[in-house]
């Protein structure tokens, strides 16, 4: 039976009390990076240490999508419906074109290799935003051990149409998941640096997003009270759904914790999908979970 933890009466409108949290795949090493493709009714996600990408459909369940994933982590879909992926192996961001060929969008900043791009989103203007913590080069588990060449773990923006990445946030310890508000006026970024630096709070921070990717008004949006935030997503009403050690935490647009969906494994990332956009897919350690919710993705067609 699904266990919910309500913290605010508004939570009830976002869930179905009888909906079951279902494990729809397991046996993986560390799952991450779920992305839904409406045209194919397909979910893709990464199994990072196993060096593979998986596919899930309602008809076929889980199967291997890519055997040699180059330690893929975060995945997203751009406005043209193309898969865009962060790779720890080549330490870059790669777009898979409709014909199956692959284009490297970013691998260096200031002439030096990136750390290990972790998660990414694409703005409706075509700009690609990604985080670059060091998790993929700390050991040989999720990539290839190496010393960082960058001076820090930054958030980057690739301009619409491509070009060099510009560091837009440089004061996080380890930036991780990120998402836009439904109107794309706010950028949220998760700080997971507590894994290295106990002083780094498990914070989700918000920034106002202006034209040409200018960020202002940095503020703390919320703190995760179990573990650290990794992947985050906004729903169509601007509520923010975050990964956490004990499940999925749901915050109102004002940052109030509304409630939690408890998950029996540490959650790394989430995305909305399914035929009507109202299924929450949850990558959690060795498994993939799904639950029906009364919310839909921010970019779901109305
Ligand atoms: Mg991540």
The string of DSSP codes covering 237-253 is TS-EEEEETTEEEEE-T
Distance linking the first and last C-alpha atoms of the chain: 31
Please, what sign has the CA dihedral across residues 223, 225, 227, 233?
negative
CA 268–ligand 1 middle distance (angstroms): 6
Which domains, and CATH codes, for the chain?
Answer: 4-292 (2.120.10.30)
| pLDDT value at residue 297 | 87
CA 79–ligand 1 middle distance (angstroms): 21
Question: How far apart (Å, rounded) are the C-alpha atoms in residues 228 and 118?
Answer: 15
Question: How far apart (Å, rounded) are the C-alpha atoms in residues 234 and 213?
Answer: 19
Helix (H) or strand (E) holding 174: none
Residues 65 and 48: beta-carbon distance below 8 Å: no
Residue 196 binned pLDDT confidence (cut-offs 50, 70, 90)? confident
CA 112–ligand 1 middle distance (angstroms): 22
For a pLDDT cut of 90, what percent of the chain falls above it?
94
Nearest by Cα to 256 from 2, 32, 14: 14
| pLDDT value at residue 301 | 56
Q: Residue 229 pLDDT > 90, yes or no?
A: yes
Nearest by Cα to 180 from 244, 254, 123, 128: 123
Please write the tens of the pLDDT for every residue from 142-162: 999 999 999 999 999 999 999
Integer-rounded Cα Rg, in Å, for the chain is 18
Residues 288 and 24: beta-carbon distance below 8 Å: yes
- The position carrying tokens 């992926």 is 85
Q: Mean pLDDT over residues 179-204, rounded?
A: 94
Tell me the whole-structure pTM to 2 decimals.
Answer: 0.97
| pLDDT value at residue 300 | 65
CA 131–ligand 1 middle distance (angstroms): 9
CA 158–ligand 1 middle distance (angstroms): 19
From residue 157, alpha-carbon distances to 33, 212, 234, 256, 298 in Å are 19, 10, 19, 29, 20
Mean pLDDT of the chain: 96
Residues 126 and 78: beta-carbon distance below 8 Å: yes
Max Cα-Cα span within the chain: 53
CA 177–ligand 1 middle distance (angstroms): 5
Q: Residue 58 pLDDT > 60, yes or no?
A: yes
CA 230–ligand 1 middle distance (angstroms): 5
For a pLDDT cut of 70, what percent of the chain falls above it?
99
Please write the tens of the pLDDT for every residue from 4-32: 999 999 999 999 999 999 999 999 999 99
Which residues contact residue 254 at a Cβ distance below 8 angstroms, ignoring those fewer than 6 apart? Answer: none
| pLDDT value at residue 129 | 98
Q: Residue 49 pLDDT > 50, yes or no?
A: yes
Q: Residue 298 pLDDT > 90, yes or no?
A: no
| pLDDT value at residue 34 | 98
Question: How far apart (Å, rounded) are the C-alpha atoms in residues 97 and 88?
Answer: 20
Q: Residue 271 pLDDT > 90, yes or no?
A: yes
| Residue with more model confidence, 298 or 236 | 236
Please write the tens of the pLDDT for every residue from 97-113: 999 999 999 999 999 99
Please, what sign has the CA dihedral across residues 125, 252, 195, 215?
positive
Residue 302 binned pLDDT confidence (cut-offs 50, 70, 90)? very low
CA 133–ligand 1 middle distance (angstroms): 9
CA 117–ligand 1 middle distance (angstroms): 9
CA 1–ligand 1 middle distance (angstroms): 28
CA 27–ligand 1 middle distance (angstroms): 20
CA 244–ligand 1 middle distance (angstroms): 11
Buried b (16+ CB within 10 A) or exposed e, 15-54: beeebebebbbeebebbbbbbbbbeeebbbbbbbebbbbb
CA 2–ligand 1 middle distance (angstroms): 25
CA 15–ligand 1 middle distance (angstroms): 25
Residues 287 and 28: beta-carbon distance below 8 Å: yes
CA 286–ligand 1 middle distance (angstroms): 15
Q: Backbone phi, then psi, for 151, in 5-degree steps?
A: -80, -10
CA 176–ligand 1 middle distance (angstroms): 5
């Amino acid at each position: 039976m699904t266990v919910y933890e309500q913290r605010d009466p508004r939570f009830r409108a976002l869930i179905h009390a009888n909906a079951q949290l279902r494990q729809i795949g397991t046996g993986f090493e560390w799952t991450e990076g779920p992305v839904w493709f409406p045209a194919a009714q397909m979910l893709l996600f990464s199994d990072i240490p196993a060096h593979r990408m998986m596919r899930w459909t309602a008809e076929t369940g889980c199967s291997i999508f890519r055997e040699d994933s180059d330690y893929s982590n975060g995945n997203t879909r751009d406005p043209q419906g193309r898969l865009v992926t962060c790779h720890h192996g080549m330490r870059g961001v790669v777009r898979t074109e409709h014909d199956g060929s692959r284009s490297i969008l970013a691998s260096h900043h200031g002439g030096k290799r990136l750390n290990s791009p972790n998660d990414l989103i694409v703005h409706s203007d075509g700009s690609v935003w990604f985080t670059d913590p060091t998790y993929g080069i700390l050991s040989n588990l999720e990539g290839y051990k190496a010393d960082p060449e960058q001076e820090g773990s930054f958030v980057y923006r690739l301009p619409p149409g491509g070009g060099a990445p510009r560091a837009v946030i440089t004061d996080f310890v380890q930036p991780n998941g990120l998402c836009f508000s439904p109107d794309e006026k706010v950028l949220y970024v998760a700080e997971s640096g507590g894994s290295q630096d106990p002083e780094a709070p498990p914070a989700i921070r918000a920034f106002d997003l202006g034209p040409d990717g200018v960020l202002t008004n940095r503020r703390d949006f919320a703190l995760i009270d179990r573990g650290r935030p990794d992947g985050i997503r906004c729903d169509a009403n601007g509520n923010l759904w975050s990964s956490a050690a004990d499940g999925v935490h749901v915050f109102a647009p004002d940052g109030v914790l509304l409630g939690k969906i408890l998950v029996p494994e540490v959650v790394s990332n989430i995305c909305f999908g399914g035929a009507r956009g109202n299924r929450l897919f949850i990558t959690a350690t060795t498994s993939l979970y799904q639950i029906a919710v009364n919310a839909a993705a921010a970019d779901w067609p109305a």
